[in-house]
């Protein structure tokens, strides 16, 4: 009885499905009459996208590129392979292959998942006319109408030519001529069968089927295409076997000199574009787009060079780097990985990583805001924190080094002391750190745990750079962005960045914190330990605030002045543990990049002027006590007037707090 009910249910579902398909087909038929009377669609605007750097020089062009080629300049083998792979009935249908749609739908229903697609070449070309790839019903309807309008107004040859000149072949290569020169260093008309079938397989999933990403998978895809061509009787078994056995000579280089990492910046621009309001949905509505960005070409080129030089022969580690103008939030250079050809995954825009001790400046700003000073002291010693109904917590300093004496906030920053940080966090209460992080723009999840200031939570690198920009910008929060202005093909301004600033931190306290962050490379702090970036002391020619952060699998360096914020992450996609020698990579990339950007500039121009309500006092740097004649080391430190340290000041351990240590 149960089986009979199931069969009956399946029968009803099939009937319902057939009715729906019939209604759709009738609707499409009626729509054809409508689009036939519509104005001719200008399909030559597909991918008509031009990106400009901060000097208004073009660094990317879509279909306006000189690499557009006519159909008779494309290898017949490539054309045949593409049609047999993507749309074997291309010359027989009017934009939609209904039998293929029906077959694919039945297969997908049977499997309970999307196992087979049914988009024709015309449908795929219609998608290229759109600026984004939203999967809404309105979008699908618009794509269907565009498909019909293309078919109603253009010949099959014109459609195929446009499709082959705008499709994505991976690694930032749009169009068959660009792809042919990139992969094989030859014109599209000269592609042989093996090369043609390799390229024809890429558009289905460029991030998977590029031979530079996964050669074995690309060969499997090539074999599928060759088998289809044999099945469709357009090549022989012998031709198939010869193509499969041919040793492909892959080039993967440009004919002209190119900054390969610029494609990470380009991808980030497109991602930002898709989030903007008031930008038309299609290229056809606007005759293309001109996008003016903050990209500094010279800095991008140097950044790529610094990444390559820093890693040398090291193969496993990855990186992400963001350089941002703190006054506006404009991103002037960006690297999302070491090699775009091997991985187009943009770690700068898409990844979140544990930030380690780069979280501590948010904590120490909160401390300054709550009555701490540059000299406020906790005892540096091995400590176990105990809490009601919780496991004891025993953080450790790097290399288990402790002073076993009171140390100042400046010393804690210089050594990146974990004990001092946790004591401060517990003394203030967790809300203080989280509140500051939220104010400067950190949106990532922040757990209310004792280890929060040690950076156990994961945050995106652009978000971290923007957070530090609030310090660099003397308390003003900014919105990170790549795009400054967008115009349509006629020069009408569609969008312009407002570069809004919002005062979220106290300017005098950010001045004090920024000066504290120079302790990380200051020789005056050499004592029972060394400042974390002491190796840079003799290399830096300008004054910067700097903080590093390290977890088992992540290493960060974030530093800034009024002119620029530079944030560098190094690690691996599979969370491989780092070794001590791996810590040099992020630091080297950071200082070489920021020093290049600041070349020819002065600290007088881009370091911070002391506010009127701030006083300067020489202190003994390790303890933070006022300096006297017997002190060998004296450090000029800054304080809000009236909060200068005294010899009688207590160490905070001696003051009752919300936590208790044992």
Bridge partners of 559, per DSSP, are 546, 566
What is the average per-residue pLDDT within 551-577? Answer: 96
Question: What domain range includes position 639?
Answer: 303-481+499-661
Neighbours of 91 (CB within 10 A): 10
pLDDT number for residue 640: 98
> Is pLDDT at 345 greater than 80 in this prediction?
yes
d(CA 652, CA 656): 8
CATH number at residue 92: 1.10.3810.10
Of 7-16, 351-360, 391-400, the range with the lowest mean pLDDT is 7-16
Question: Do the domain assignments include residue 527?
Answer: yes
Q: How confident is the model at residue 570 (pLDDT cuts 50, 70, 90)?
A: very high
Bridge partners of 458, per DSSP, are 354
Cβ atoms of 239 and 80 closer than 8 Å: no
Residue matched to tokens 């090549």: 235
What is the average per-residue pLDDT within 167-182? Answer: 87
Q: How confident is the model at residue 136 (pLDDT cuts 50, 70, 90)?
A: low
My answer on whether 226 and 347 are in the same domain is no
Cβ atoms of 612 and 511 closer than 8 Å: no
> Is pLDDT at 115 greater than 90 in this prediction?
no
Q: What is the largest CA-CA distance in the chain?
A: 100
pLDDT number for residue 659: 41
Q: How confident is the model at residue 241 (pLDDT cuts 50, 70, 90)?
A: very high
d(CA 558, CA 549): 9
Strand pairing report for 318-324 and 331-335: antiparallel
List Cα–Cα distances, 386 to 367, 390, 659, in angstroms.
Answer: 22, 7, 8
pLDDT number for residue 237: 94
> Is pLDDT at 234 greater than 60 in this prediction?
yes
d(CA 130, CA 142): 10
What is the average per-residue pLDDT within 146-158? Answer: 81
Q: How confident is the model at residue 509 (pLDDT cuts 50, 70, 90)?
A: very high
pLDDT number for residue 657: 43
What is the average per-residue pLDDT within 605-629? Answer: 96
My answer on whether 29 and 100 are in the same domain is no
CATH number at residue 512: 3.40.710.10
What is the average per-residue pLDDT within 113-128? Answer: 68
Neighbours of 532 (CB within 10 A): 25
d(CA 609, CA 627): 23
My answer on whether 30 and 135 are in the same domain is no
Distance of CA 189 to the CA centre of its chain: 36
My answer on whether 400 and 314 are in the same domain is yes
Tens-place pLDDT, residues 305-334: 999 999 998 989 999 999 999 999 999 999
Share of the chain above pLDDT 70, in %: 84
- How does DSSP assign 202-228, residue by residue? STT-HHHH-TTT-HHHHHHHHHHHHHH
Bridge partners of 49, per DSSP, are 289
pLDDT number for residue 113: 45
| 91: helix, strand or coil | coil
pLDDT number for residue 277: 81
Q: Is 256 left (phi over 0), alpha (psi -120 to 50) or beta?
A: beta
> Which residues have CB under 8 Å from 607's CB, separation 6+?
542, 543, 561, 562
d(CA 171, CA 420): 47
My answer on whether 633 and 556 are in the same domain is yes
Question: Do the domain assignments include residue 571?
Answer: yes
State phi, psi for 313 to the nearest 5 degrees.
-90, -5
The domain total for the chain is: 3
Q: How confident is the model at residue 626 (pLDDT cuts 50, 70, 90)?
A: very high
Tens-place pLDDT, residues 428-438: 998 999 999 99
Residue matched to tokens 């076997």: 241
> Is pLDDT at 342 greater than 70 in this prediction?
yes
My answer on whether 29 and 78 are in the same domain is no
My answer on whether 8 and 100 are in the same domain is no
> Which residues have CB under 8 Å from 348's CB, separation 6+?
264, 268, 320, 321, 322, 334, 335, 336, 461, 462
Strands (E), 391-523: 405-408, 458-459, 476-477, 483-488, 493-496, 502-503
Question: Do the domain assignments include residue 47?
Answer: no
Question: Do the domain assignments include residue 123?
Answer: yes
Paired tokens of 532: 């974390």
pLDDT number for residue 645: 95
State phi, psi for 458 to the nearest 5 degrees.
-100, 130
My answer on whether 177 and 326 are in the same domain is no
Tens-place pLDDT, residues 30-87: 666 665 666 666 666 555 778 999 999 988 876 545 567 899 999 999 999 999 988 8
Crossing angle of helices 76-86 and 121-128, in 10° steps, is 100
Question: Do the domain assignments include residue 456?
Answer: yes
My answer on whether 186 and 315 are in the same domain is no
My answer on whether 166 and 237 are in the same domain is yes
Q: How confident is the model at residue 282 (pLDDT cuts 50, 70, 90)?
A: low
Residues annotated as part of the active site: 86, 357
Q: How confident is the model at residue 651 (pLDDT cuts 50, 70, 90)?
A: confident
| 409: helix, strand or coil | helix
d(CA 25, CA 312): 59
My answer on whether 423 and 560 are in the same domain is yes
Question: Do the domain assignments include residue 371?
Answer: yes
> Is pLDDT at 637 greater than 90 in this prediction?
yes
Q: How confident is the model at residue 106 (pLDDT cuts 50, 70, 90)?
A: low
Last residue of a domain, one of 225, 258, 291: 258
My answer on whether 196 and 313 are in the same domain is no
d(CA 426, CA 420): 10
Question: Do the domain assignments include residue 45?
Answer: no
d(CA 210, CA 557): 33
Question: Do the domain assignments include residue 62?
Answer: no
> Is pLDDT at 281 greater than 70 in this prediction?
no
Tens-place pLDDT, residues 376-418: 999 999 998 887 777 888 999 988 999 999 999 999 999 999 9
């Amino acid at each position: 009885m149960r089986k009979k009910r199931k069969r009956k249910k399946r029968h009803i579902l099939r009937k319902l499905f057939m009715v729906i398909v019939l209604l759709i087909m009738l609707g499409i038929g009626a729509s054809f009459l409508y689009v036939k009377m519509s104005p001719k669609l200008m399909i030559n605007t597909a991918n008509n996208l031009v990106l400009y750097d901060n000097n208004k020089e073009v660094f990317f062009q879509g279909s306006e590129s000189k690499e557009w080629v006519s159909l008779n300049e494309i290898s017949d083998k490539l054309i045949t392979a593409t049609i047999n792979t993507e749309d074997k009935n291309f010359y027989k249908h009017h934009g939609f292959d209904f039998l293929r749609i029906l077959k694919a739908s039945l297969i997908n229903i049977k499997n309970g998942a999307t196992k087979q697609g049914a988009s024709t070449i015309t449908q795929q070309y219609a998608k290229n006319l759109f600026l984004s790839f939203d999967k809404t019903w309105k979008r699908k309807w618009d794509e269907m109408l565009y498909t019909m309008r293309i078919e109603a107004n253009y010949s099959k040859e014109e459609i195929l030519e446009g499709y082959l000149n705008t499709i994505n072949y991976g690694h930032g290569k749009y169009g068959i001529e660009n792809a042919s020169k990139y992969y094989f260093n030859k014109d599209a008309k000269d592609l042989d069968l093996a090369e043609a079938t390799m390229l024809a397989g890429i558009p289905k999933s460029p991030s998977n089927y590029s031979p530079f990403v996964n050669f074995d998978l690309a060969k499997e895809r090539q074999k599928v295409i060759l088998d289809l061509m044999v099945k469709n009787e357009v090549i022989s078994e012998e031709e198939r076997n010869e193509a499969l056995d041919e040793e492909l000579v892959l080039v993967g280089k440009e004919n002209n000199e190119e900054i390969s990492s610029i494609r990470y910046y380009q991808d980030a621009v497109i991602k930002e574009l898709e989030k903007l309001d008031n930008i038309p949905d299609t290229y056809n509505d606007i005759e293309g787009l001109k996008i003016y960005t903050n990209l500094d070409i010279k800095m991008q080129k140097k950044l790529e060079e610094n990444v390559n030089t820093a890693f040398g022969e090291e193969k496993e580690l990855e990186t992400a780097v963001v350089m941002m103008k703190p006054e506006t939030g404009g991103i002037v250079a960006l690297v999302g990985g070491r090699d775009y050809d091997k991985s187009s995954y943009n770690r700068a825009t898409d990844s979140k990583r544990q930030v380690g001790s780069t979280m501590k400046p948010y904590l120490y700003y909160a401390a300054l805001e709550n009555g701490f000073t540059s000299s406020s002291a906790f005892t540096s010693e091995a400590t176990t924190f105990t809490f009601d109904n919780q496991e004891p917590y025993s953080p450790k300093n790097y290399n288990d080094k402790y002073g076993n004496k009171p140390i100042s906030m400046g010393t804690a920053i210089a050594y990146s002391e974990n004990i001092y940080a946790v004591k401060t966090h517990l003394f203030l209460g967790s809300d203080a750190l989280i509140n500051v992080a939220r104010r400067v723009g950190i949106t990532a999840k922040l757990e209310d745990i004792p280890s929060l200031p040690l950076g156990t939570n994961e945050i995106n690198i652009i978000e971290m750079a923007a957070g530090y920009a609030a310090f660099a910008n003397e308390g003003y929060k900014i919105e990170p962005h790549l795009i400054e202005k967008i115009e349509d093909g006629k020069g009408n301004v569609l969008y312009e960045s407002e570069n809004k600033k919002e005062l979220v931190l106290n300017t005098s306290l950010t001045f004090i914190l920024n000066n504290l962050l120079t302790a990380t490379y200051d020789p005056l702090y050499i004592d029972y330990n060394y400042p974390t970036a002491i190796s840079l002391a003799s290399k830096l020619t300008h004054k910067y605030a700097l903080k590093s952060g390290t977890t088992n699998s992540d290493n960060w360096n974030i530093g800034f002045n009024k002119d620029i914020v530079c944030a560098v992450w190094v690690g691996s996609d599979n969370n491989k543990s780092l070794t001590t020698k791996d810590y040099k990579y992020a630091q080297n990339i950071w200082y070489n990049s920021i020093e290049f950007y600041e070349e020819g500039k002065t600290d007088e121009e881009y370091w911070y002027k002391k506010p009127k309500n701030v006083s300067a006092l020489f202190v003994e740097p390790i303890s933070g006590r006022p300096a006297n004649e017997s002190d060998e080391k004296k450090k000029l430190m800054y304080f809000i007037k009236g909060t200068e340290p005294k010899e009688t000041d207590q160490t905070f351990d001696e003051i009752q707090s919300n936590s208790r240590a044992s």
